[in-house]
């Protein structure tokens, strides 16, 4: 299956939309790689990057795996003495066919953060596309 990749540098407390939707919904995606990296090893960093199925009204650093909008989450910490608290990355195996949203939120130290995402692209049969779209519609209520 083809792989589609996205990368970017995001400022703290921001959100980006990754355009994936197609008119007929017959193209599905699944996250196969999600990595984060601070752009400067000489800057204190404490950041959380998350990927959602719906746009968020508020960007937070809290991770709640019971949130059915959440597709992936990663945390990274770096100190100026080059101590690295490894980025913990967890992502769901769910197939989706709509746009996704990446958020970045820091805690005490909030520099910009890099992200890299690889998505496996796959054709969806009409019934699979309908199920994925209906799931996204059902889950789109009340994003936080």
Lowest mean pLDDT among 2-6, 13-17, 72-76: 72-76
Residue 28 has pLDDT above 80, yes or no: yes
Banded model confidence at residue 92, pLDDT cuts 50, 70, 90: confident
Q: Is pLDDT at 78 greater than 90 in this prediction? A: no
The mean of the pLDDT values for the chain is 85
What is the per-residue pLDDT for 83?
67
Tell the CATH topology of 3-139: Jelly Rolls (2.60.120)
Please tell me the predicted confidence (pLDDT) of residue 16: 97
- Let me know: does 107 contact 46? Beta carbons within 8 Å: yes
pLDDT of residue 127: 79
Percent of the chain with pLDDT over 70: 86
Residue of 63 and 144 predicted with greater confidence: 63
Write down the domain spans for the chain: 3-139
Distances from the Cα of 9 to the Cαs of 1, 26, 130, 135, 136, in angstroms? 27, 30, 34, 30, 27
Average pLDDT over residues 82-102: 83
Which run of H or of E encompasses 128? helix 126-139
Above 80 in pLDDT, residue 80? Answer: no
CB atoms under 10 Å from CB of 29, counted, come to 25
pTM of the model: 0.86
Predicted confidence (pLDDT) at residue 14 exceeds the cutoff of 80: yes
50: pLDDT strictly greater than 70:
yes
């Amino acid at each position: 299956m083809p792989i589609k990749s996205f990368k970017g540098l995001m400022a703290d407390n921001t959100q980006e939309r990754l355009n994936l939707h197609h008119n007929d919904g017959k193209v599905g995606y699944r996250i196969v790689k999600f990595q984060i990296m601070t752009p400067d090893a000489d800057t204190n960093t404490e950041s959380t990057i998350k990927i959602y199925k719906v746009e968020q009204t508020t960007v937070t650093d809290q991770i709640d795996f019971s949130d059915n909008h959440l597709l992936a989450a990663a945390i990274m910490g770096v100190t100026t003495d080059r101590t690295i608290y490894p980025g913990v990355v967890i992502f769901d195996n769910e197939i989706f066919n709509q746009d996704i949203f990446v958020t970045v939120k820091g805690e005490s130290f909030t520099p910009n953060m890099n992200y890299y995402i690889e998505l496996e692209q796959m054709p969806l049969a009409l019934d699979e596309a309908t199920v994925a779209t209906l799931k996204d519609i059902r889950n789109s209520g009340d994003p936080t």
